[in-house]
Amino acid sequence: MKIYTRTGDAGETGLFGGARVPKDDARVEAYGTVDELNCALGLARAALPASSTLDPLLARLQNELFDLGSELATPPARLETALGARIPLTIDERITALEAEIDRLEESLPPLKNFILPGGTPAAAALHVARAVCRRAERCTVALARADTVRPEALRYLNRLSDLLFVLARYANQQSGIADVTWQPSRSGPAS
C-alpha cells in the first residue's frame, strides 16, 4: 500500500467509517491534536534518561491516546460498525489509573509552593510541551462536543492526563536531581 493516496489533495479527509469531511472539521482538529499529543509523548520518551522508570507508563499512554484518537476519528453513528470490539469502553478505568499515578508520583514530590515554568531536564521540558498540547486537545474536543456527540469520559481523560503530565514533568526533574524552574514574577511592570 502506498503512503500517499491523493484523496486529500482537495482539502478533505476520510473518517473511520468512510465519511469525507473538510480537513479543518472539528472532528479532524480534535483527533489531529490527540495525534500531536501522542507525538509529543514520543519525544518525551526519547528524551528520558536510560535509567528512567517512566517509559512503560508513557508507552501505555501513547497506546491509550491512539485508542482515543480512533474513537474521535469515527462519527458516533459509525462507532460500533467501524471499530467493532475495539471501541475503548474502559475510559473510566483509565481515568482512575491516571489518578492513581498522579497520587503515587506526588507522594515523592515536594509540595508546590510556586508556579512552575516549563524546563529543567530535556525530558521534563518535553513533558511540559505534551501537557500544553494535551490542554489544546481537550479544548478541541470540547469544541467537537458542542457540534457532535463525544463521550464525556473522553474529556475527563484528557483533563486528567494533562494533570498527570504536569506531575510527570516534575517527577522527571526530581529523578535527575534537577530542581523545578519556578516562576519569578517581573517587578518592573510593562515595558514602555
Examine residue 104 and state whether it is found in any structural domain, yes or no: yes
pLDDT of residue 39: 98
**Where does the pLDDT of residue 90 fall: very low under 50, low under 70, confident under 90, or very high at 90 and above?**
low
Q: Is 181 exposed, middle or buried (0-12, 13-18, 19+ CB in 10 A)?
A: middle
Q: Which of 163, 152, 154, 143 is closest to 65 using CA atoms? A: 154
Residue 82 has pLDDT above 60, yes or no: no
Would 84 be classed as within a structural domain? yes
- C-alpha cell of residue 166: 504536569
Q: Evaluate if residue 161 carries a pLDDT over 90.
A: yes
pLDDT per residue over 39-79, tens digit each? 999 999 999 998 899 999 999 999 999 999 988 988 776 66
- In the chain, the number of structural domains is 1
Decide if 119 is inside a domain: yes
Question: 78 CB contacts (<8 Å, ≥6 apart)?
Answer: 15, 16, 17, 18, 19
In a domain, 10, yes or no: no
Identify the CATH number of the domain in which residue 43 sits: 1.20.1200.10
Point out which residues pair with 21 in neighbouring strands: 13
> What confidence score (pLDDT) does residue 191 get?
59
Output the pLDDT for position 51: 85
Residue 191 lies in a domain: no
Number of residues that make up the chain:
192
Structural domain that includes position 50: 19-182
0.85 exceeded by pTM: yes
Residues 18-36 have pLDDT tens digits of 676 656 788 889 999 999 9
- 38 located within any domain: yes
Does a structural domain hold residue 6?
A: no
Side-chain-side CA neighbours of 94 within 13 Å: the count stands at 22
pLDDT tier, 117 (very low <50, low <70, confident <90, very high otherwise): very high
Give domain status of residue 3, yes or no.
no
